[in-house]
Amino acid sequence: MLRIDALEAIYPELEQCVVVTIMGAVSAELQSLGHRPNFFYLLHAMGLASSMGLGIALSRPELPVVVLDGDGSILMNLGSLTTMARYRPGNLTHVVFDNESLLSVGGFPTATATGSDVAGMAAAAGIPRTTTVRTLDDFRAAFTAARASGELTTIVAKVEARGPALYLTDLPMLENRFQFQRHLRALRDLGAQVSADA
Amino acid sequence: MPVSVKHSQLIFDALRACDVRLMSALPETWLVHLIRMAEEDPAVTLVRLAKEEEGVGISAGAHLAGVKSAMLMQNHGFLASVNGIVSLAHLYRIPLLMLVSYRGEFGERDPWQTQGGGATEPLLRALRIPYDRLDHPNHVAAKVRKAQTLAEASLSPVALLLCRDLMWEE
């Protein structure tokens, strides 16, 4: 499975979610499919995308939040699995694209290349739903099921260690950051308006 | 345990007066009452961490989602958070209100706490993080309010050092 195909398979659902991605290939490939104001790309601070997603999910339980993580990133912040599991927000879906490699910095193998099992660690940390998928159909089904379950889920998607030709985009980091914040504020104002109308 | 309940309450009330609704924390002796108060307040979401750097990400998420937050940590937790502070909070202009228990100053009895004290302020200065000491109960409310105001206005981290004279009753 290629990550870009996996992203494309869930893109229509991502349009409905608040999305936080890691740096590198995940960010560049999602942008290549079309940037949206509900997508935030964390282009540094390796490991903290899952923590950011947890902060958003706990702050705004009404919003479906998706973190698009990677094996290298989550291995830098394994404690985050235990913190997510502790609070287990049902509106958070945690996808780990596992290419067993630090692809963006030269393709050095990560520990998942020698058998470390991210979904196993997530389950042992206490994440209520975990799965590892290897095909596009299984990934699409697992993602849809995770969102429908209303339970915190970690999906490990085994993907090939192939990335985009270009990692740079024309979206400056701060423009992304302020646009994303403004979008979350607008969603809250819209929610308040809907409640007032009801 | 001679950690001051009264002064912990002052700090907690000052945070609540700023509408801080999410607090991340990793326990250490001086923070025990503050963390208990956060846990008991139904209006506050307490996030217990495995490592302090996670708190930078959680506060960043909370900020972008419209919720004011604070981080409760020891100065060694601040040392452990530096990459997140630089490559998330500074890079993306995220306000952080960091309450840092200042171990290793005069009066420190635990030998293992004595190195972090000397590194704390030089590192805050190196990172150009505005900071102030909380060492007297009379100043707590105003300093917390002003620190939170500066963090929000500058979209940057600020630190309050929780000092022995405030936190510990000898």
Chain segment B12-50, per-residue pLDDT in tens: 999 999 999 999 999 999 999 999 999 999 999 999 999
Please tell me if residue A19 touches chain B, with a CB cutoff of 8 Å: no
Report whether pLDDT(A59) > 80. yes
- Residue to substitute from B88, B93, B97, B156, interface A, most A β-carbons within 10 A: B88
The answer to whether A52 contacts B61, with C-beta atoms less than 8 Å apart, is: yes
pLDDT band at A66 (very low <50, low <70, confident <90, very high): very high
pLDDT band at B1 (very low <50, low <70, confident <90, very high): low
Please tell me if residue A74 touches chain B, with a CB cutoff of 8 Å: no
- Of B160, B156, B15, nearest to B96 (Cα)? B156
pLDDT band at A165 (very low <50, low <70, confident <90, very high): confident
A80–chain B nearest CA distance, Å: 7
Query: If DSSP states are collapsed to H, E and C, what string results for chain B?
Result: CCECHHHHHHHHHHHHHCCCCEEEECCCHHHHHHHHHHHHCCCCEEEECCCCHHHHHHHHHHHHCCCCEEEEEEHHHHHHCHHHHHHHHHCCCCCEEEEEECCCCCCCCCHHHHHHHHHHHHHHHHCCCCEEEECCHHHHHHHHHHHHHHHHHHCCEEEEEECHHHHECC
Rounded Cα gap, residues A72 and A98, in angstroms: 8
Residue of chain B whose alpha carbon sits nearest to that of A49? B57
Model pLDDT for residues B97-134, shown as the tens digit of each residue: 999 999 999 999 999 999 999 999 999 999 999 999 99
Indicate the residue of B22, B56, B84 with minimum beta-carbon distance to A59.
B22
The answer to whether B58 contacts A20, with C-beta atoms less than 8 Å apart, is: no
Question: Which residues of B are less than 8 Å from A125 in CB distance?
Answer: none
Please tell me if residue A182 touches chain B, with a CB cutoff of 8 Å: no
In this prediction, does ipTM exceed 0.90?
yes
